[in-house]
Structure 1
Amino acid sequence: MSDKPIDPLPKVWDPDTRIGDMLKGRRGLVVGIANEHSIAYGCAAKLRAFGADLAVTWLNDKAERFVRPLAEQLEASVMMPLDVDQPGELEAVFARIAQEWGRLDFVIHSIAFAPREDLHGRVVDCSAEGFAQAMHVSCWSFLRMAKLAEPLMAEGGVLVTMSYYGADKVIGNYNMMGPVKAALEASVRYAAAELGGKGIRVFAVSPGPLKTRAASGIAHFDELVQMAQARAPAHRLVDIAEVGRVVAFLVGGASSGMTGDTIYVDGGLHIVG
């Protein structure tokens, strides 16, 4: 298997960029692609490059025109809308996967949301409605996906979600998403304990700050990026290809002895006091 240490991620999927067959025959769902800069797209591109077959979703009609071309370049077998705030859409995605594939080997959950007015305010000032919606989209949806994936993972599988260092430490301007991501990481541990007997492994991946569409909602995000570059031992940001490689490792057999962990991909930022 050959994989360049830090390669630029192809903007479009090209079959000639295939880098190995480590995941050949594996089938998985990737949720959260918004455009070619998304962490979810970095994961999907690497998973496909290692040979996996993919199911890809987009949020709504507006997002489809950006995501469908990427899904087609990734040769996705299943392409569907998915808004976890809309009743029945999540169940419809898993029903389609059951019909098309009859099984599922992995799920990549890379979605989060908080109302702007709650995200930009103090944690103690957030509304009950805003906090509930952030928890529903960012945390509960992962647990619901785990529940729906369980019967399709009769021979085991891997569930991966995306977190951030603000789940563990107080990060300026991350605000309400800190407690929400902390709940998500706890959910990973509990799900790993509950599903481990069925061969289903569960992880959170915690990238450093990346300039994605989702990150643009965080106040003073450029300052957060500058801080990360200055403080991280690597003195640089990671890229979505690096995150994708780690996810491919977790999905693959090489990580068979691991579960329940939060895996940091942040140039060492989390080790600095």
Structure 2
Amino acid sequence: MSFITFDNKRIAVFGLANKKSVAFFIARELIASGAEVIHVVRSEERKKTAHKLFPQCSVFICDVEDEENIIRVRDEIREELDGKLLHGIVHSIAFANYSEGFKPFHQTRKDDFLQAVNISCFSFISIANHFKDLLHSDASVVTISISTTTMAAENYGYMAPIKAALDSSLCFLAKSFSAFSNIRFNAVAPGLLKTSASAGIPGYIDSYLYAEKAILRKKAISTQEAADAAVFLLSDRASAITAQTIVVDGGMAVNYFDKEIVGKAVG
């Protein structure tokens, strides 16, 4: 018997964009482990992509920026489930609109920041709230964060503080839901990954190559590795883990004074 199985379990995955997405790797692994996956994507174009990648899965559209869309897709999925429940939700959604390009953090535009908070953080809270009656009492809800929210990477702009808010929301959601269920809330926080979203960050390639040097094994984190951690947290094997952010960075956070890096910096 496999250590992790999802037989007769249903998981809703929010955020698939393409085959490089963290959501793609999570969904693929869930299906391989026996789960029924329901995709929720942002647009009609992404719905077509989801159908091509996962022809066996139901796909729904929801732009989470408008909370009414979350309520609508909840009702659509409820009808699809026909009395059945979800055993998990994956929130793999983030968005930042640098409308005037990258600027020093103190020059962050209020409307850009609040839009990013709404889509990247509040949507997680809103999905949990509106889907609570569709969740099994032992369900698991997992979001995707970042490996550190206190490293001031200039090219990441204001997204680290927003991810910090996302991380903080875990304990409050876990506490709130504990009043009526055993539903768990956790985050996977990977180091730098090769995704389509990251490709749009100026200077990201240099940061990615630096991360490879700082990781203990001198090899970057794969998207599959991040997905594997998410699948574990969604499984019954993680039943005692809640309100946690699981860092998947290959030990990078303990290795900033790697002698090779220091040697090149001061040599």
1:95: which partner in 2?
75
Q: Which amino acid aligns with 2:30?
A: L
CA deviations 1:146-184 (Å, max 9, x no partner) are: 102211224221111111124232223112001100000
**Secondary structure of residue in 2 paired with 1:211:** coil
1:218 paired to 2:201: yes
TM-score under structure 2 length normalisation: 0.89
Mean Cα displacement is larger for which, 231-240 or 178-187?
Answer: 231-240
What displacement does 1:57 show? 2.0
Q: CA deviation at 1:89?
A: 1.9
In structure 2, relative to structure 1, the CA distance for the partners of 1:99 and 1:180 (3 Å cut) is same
Shift of 1:118: 5.9
Tell which structure's C-alpha radius of gyration is larger.
2
Structure 1: stretches of 5+ with no match in the other structure? 3-19
Q: Deviations over 1:2-44 (max 9, x none)?
A: 6xxxxxxxxxxxxxxxxx8711111111011111111110111
Find the counterpart in structure 1 of residue 108 from structure 2. Answer: 126
User: What is the SS of the residue equivalent to 2:27?
Assistant: helix
1:208 maps to what in 2? Answer: 191
In angstroms, what is the RMSD of aligned CA positions? Answer: 1.8
Work out whether 1:237 is the aligned partner of 2:220. Answer: yes
1:88 alignment partner AA = E
Quick check: 1:28–1:55 contact (8 Å CA) kept in 2? yes
The one-letter code matched in structure 1 to 2:172 is Y
Letter aligned with residue 95 of structure 1:
D
Note the 1:44-63 alignment, pairs <5 A.
44-63=27-46
CA distance in 2: counterparts of 1:261 and 1:228, whole angstroms: 23
Is 1:60–1:81's contact at 8 Å kept on the other side of the alignment? Answer: yes
Residue of structure 1 aligned with 2:60, choices 80, 91, 101: 80
For the Cα contact (< 8 Å) 2:140–2:185, is it kept in 1?
yes
The 8 Å contact of residues 43 and 240 in structure 1, kept in 2 or not, is answered as: no
Q: Deviations over 1:121-141 (max 9, x none)?
A: 222111110011000000000
Aligned counterparts of 1:209 and 1:237: Cα–Cα separation in 2: 7
Is residue 135 from structure 1 mapped to residue 117 from structure 2 by the alignment?
yes
Other-structure match for 1:110: 92
Within the candidate set 152, 159, 165, 1:177 is matched to: 159
Distance in 1 (CA, whole Å) between partners of 2:251 and 2:220 is 10
Q: Which amino acid aligns with 2:144?
A: M
Bigger shift: 253-262 or 213-222?
213-222
User: Is the 2:4–2:237 contact (alpha carbons within 8 Å) kept by the matching residues of 1?
Assistant: no
Aligned residue identity for 2:127:
M
Aligned counterparts of 1:105 and 1:192: Cα–Cα separation in 2: 16
Distance in 1 between residues matched to 2:187 and 2:100, nearest whole Å: 24
State the distance in 1 between where 2:222 and 2:28 align. 13
Segments of 4+ in structure 1 off by > 6 A?
Answer: none
Q: Which residue of 1 aligns with 2:24?
A: 41
SS in 2 for 1:105: strand
Q: What corresponds to 1:10 in structure 2?
A: none
- On the 8 A contact 1:111/1:138 being kept in 2, the answer is yes
Q: What's the secondary structure of 2:63's corresponding residue?
A: coil
Per-residue Cα deviation, 1:174-219 (whole angstroms, up to 9, x for no partner): 1200110000000112111221341010001011111111112222
2:79 alignment partner AA: Q
Query: Alignment identity in percent?
Result: 29
Q: State the alpha-carbon separation in 1 of the partners of residues 59 and 146 from structure 2.
A: 28
Match of 1:8 in 2: none
Structure 2 contact 89–141 (Cα < 8 Å) conserved: yes
Q: For the residues of structure 1 that align with 2:53 and 2:36, how far apart are their CA atoms?
A: 14
Partner Cα distance (1:117, 1:96) in 2? 33
Ranges in structure 2 where 5+ consecutive residues have no aligned partner = 257-267
